[in-house]
Amino acid sequence: MKILMTTSEAVPFAKTGGLADAVSALSLSLAALGHDVRIVMPRYYPIDRAKLELIEGPLGVPVGWGEEWAAIYRTTLPVPAGTEHEVPVYMVDHENFFGRDGIYGIPSEPDFADNPRRFSFFSRSVFQLCRKLGWYPDIFHAHDWPTALVPVFLKHGERTGPFGKSSSVFTIHNIGYQGVYAKEFFPYTKLDWDLFRSAGFEDWDRMNLLKAGLVCADKLTTVSPTYAEETKTSAYGFRLDGVLRAREGDYAGILNGVDFDLWNPSTDTYIPVCYDRNDLSGKAIAKSALQKEFGLPVDPDVPVIGMVTRLTEQKGVGELFGPSYGSAWSICQDMALQFAILGSGERWCENELRSLSARLPNFRATIGYSERLSHMIEAGSDFFLMPSRYEPCGLNQMYSLAYGTPPIVRRTGGLADTVENYVQETGEGTGFMFDELTPRSIYDTVGWAVWAYYNKREDVEAMRIRGMELDFTWETSARRYLALYEKLAR
Ligand code: ADP
Ligand code: GLC
């Protein structure tokens, strides 16, 4: 099949979160199964043009009352040596829209004022690109609000001629971000005003891009079965639960996988010594390296709790670090443990982490983004904490399972689908879970893990191995997506 992934992020070119990992890994797995998969994304400013191949001739993209002109570059996803298949990546280059720092925004302007124009332009350019290449996909697979207009454009206007047989799949990676803008931007899409309501844009007199995508796409997916159910409820649907209930028959949850070429303790080049489930001695070395790196007392006997996260409400940071009622302070005061945290995001939270690092001897946070440190934390920690308010899939808990680092998680979304709770009586399980998102439950569950570390060490060691034996391959997910694509193509 011919599949075009339309996305605002893909590793290793541009990433703010798991979306980037998911799109690239899924594309590679589909290609490995023998399909013609290509990716199209914007060429952001930091992506060096010199490393890309320029495709001859400018691309005209109809928008608003006129036309914008773009250049198209081509590259491929990096693949491990010896791999036969390749995934071409096309990058749409437009100085005015993408020649700046930031994918969606910058700290002083988290959501660029012209985002509706930038991503409307980009979503339209996708069709022009196919025409230019003379390559017409069976499936347009769009991801999250930035490319939500792709299924809308396909349904309303583009599904003619060579696109007559094309279908669309739209995947929600996070329903908390919807791309809601003043309706004055609507004419820029070049769609008829009749469609403002009927195509699902209308949202309290504003324009909701995600909602239109959900109304117009042929099939909808999200990244775990539990999140698919949760998003149909008012507690998790961010006001779009009704839309999803109405499309229930076309909506499914497909769990993400782990790219074991990138996240594998037996080949990881970021950690001092590799290890696997038959010999965990490299993990102990990673632990002391992590303690040293983070300025924590080097002590093999004290449990290290790791976190790698965007610092936003979604991740439960209010309950964990909130200055007046968060639980991190008391956890560190009351328990013999250490915290090693890597994250960036909301300013208050970054400041709180700095302050806790300065006041507590057993708490260290690094503010920023570091691929290397994220691998170090996965490998060197004893437990990995994710108290998410909601979690569509979550990749880090799967990485930590693969690294023999039992996760401590809230039972929600993909966390509920990938972690099995510890059963003290039998020693079963792969992690520690709680239900209520309160400082108290986080405190208690971290306490439970720490208690097990000191008192049920053999159980914890068995949990490590059990987690490392799990096999969340992308191939399984890719086959599920294929089944969906094939249904549409028929
Ligand atoms: P989300 O996409 O909601 O942020 P996921 O768990 O799906 O959550 O994916 C997060 C991804 O981003 C993981 O690959 C994680 O390692 C990475 N990540 C998040 N914050 C950082 C950071 N500060 N430094 C390095 N990697 C990070
Ligand atoms: C989103 C979600 C995360 C998921 C990722 C990849 O960023 O927050 O849970 O793993 O997308 O699908």
Distance 175 CA to ligand 2 centre (A): 10
Torsions phi, psi of 311, nearest 5?
-90, 80
Distance 11 CA to ligand 1 centre (A): 12
For residue 395, which atom of ligand 2 is closest to its CA? Answer: 10
| Ligand 2 contacts CB of residue 226 (under 6 A) | no
- Cα angle 336, 340, 344 (rounded to 5 degrees) comes to 140
Distance 122 CA to ligand 1 centre (A): 25
Of 16, 26, 256, best ligand 2 pocket probe by most atoms within 8 Å of the beta carbon:
256
Distance 404 CA to ligand 1 centre (A): 18
Provide the 8-state DSSP code for 14: B
Q: How many CB atoms lie within 10 A of CB 365?
A: 23
Distance 383 CA to ligand 1 centre (A): 17
Cα torsion through 225, 226, 232, 237, rounded to 10: -120
| Ligand 2 contacts CB of residue 23 (under 6 A) | no
Spell out a b/e string for 425-437, using b for 16 or more CB atoms within 10 Å of the CB, else e. Answer: eeeebbbbbbeeb
d(CA 102, CA 263): 26
Nearest protein CA to atom 3 of ligand 2, as residue? 394
Distance 98 CA to ligand 1 centre (A): 23
| Ligand 1 contacts CB of residue 21 (under 6 A) | yes
| Sign of the dihedral defined by the CA atoms of residues 58, 60, 63, 65, in that order | positive
Is residue 232 within 8 Å of 241, Cβ to Cβ? yes
Distance 174 CA to ligand 2 centre (A): 6
| Ligand 1 contacts CB of residue 309 (under 6 A) | yes
Q: How many CB atoms lie within 10 A of CB 126?
A: 24
| Ligand 2 contacts CB of residue 173 (under 6 A) | yes
| Residue numbers of the chain with a pLDDT score lower than 70 | none
Q: Which two tokens stand for residue 277?
A: 């489930």
| Ligand 2 contacts CB of residue 175 (under 6 A) | no
Note the pLDDT tens digit of each residue in 403-453. Answer: 999 999 999 999 999 999 999 999 999 999 999 999 999 999 999 999 999
Interstrand relation of 66-76 and 88-93 (parallel, antiparallel or unpaired): antiparallel
Nearest protein CA to atom 19 of ligand 1, as residue? 309
H/E stretch holding 244 reads helix 241-246
For 238: left if phi > 0, alpha if psi spans -120 to 50, otherwise beta; the answer is left
Which ligand is located closest to the Cα atom of residue 344? 1
The dotted CATH code for 281-468 is 3.40.50.2000
| Ligand 1 contacts CB of residue 18 (under 6 A) | yes
| Ligand 1 contacts CB of residue 308 (under 6 A) | yes
3-class SS at 210?
helix
| Ligand 2 contacts CB of residue 256 (under 6 A) | yes
d(CA 414, CA 253): 10
Give the CATH architecture of domain 2-257+474-489.
3-Layer(aba) Sandwich (3.40)
CB proximity list for 119: less than 8 A, separation 6 or greater: 8, 145, 146, 147, 149, 179, 209
Whether 281-468 and 2-257+474-489 are alike in CATH topology: the answer is yes
Note the pLDDT tens digit of each residue in 258-273. Answer: 999 889 999 999 999 9
H/E stretch holding 293 reads helix 281-293
Of 431, 432, 444, residue with least CA distance to 470: 431
Distance 330 CA to ligand 2 centre (A): 30
pTM (2 d.p.):
0.96
Bond preceding residue 12 cis, omega within 30 of 0: yes
Residue 37's identity, in one-letter code, is: V
| Residue 220 CA from chain centroid, whole number | 17
Q: Where are the domains of the chain?
A: 2-257+474-489, 281-468
For residue 314, which atom of ligand 1 is closest to its CA? Answer: 3
Is residue 12 within 8 Å of 48, Cβ to Cβ? no
Which ligand is located closest to the Cα atom of residue 392? 2
Residues in the chain: 490
Q: Which two tokens stand for residue 360?
A: 């507590």
For residue 176, which atom of ligand 2 is closest to its CA? Answer: 8
d(CA 216, CA 189): 15
d(CA 20, CA 104): 14
d(CA 9, CA 22): 9
For residue 314, which atom of ligand 2 is closest to its CA? Answer: 8
Distance 253 CA to ligand 1 centre (A): 20
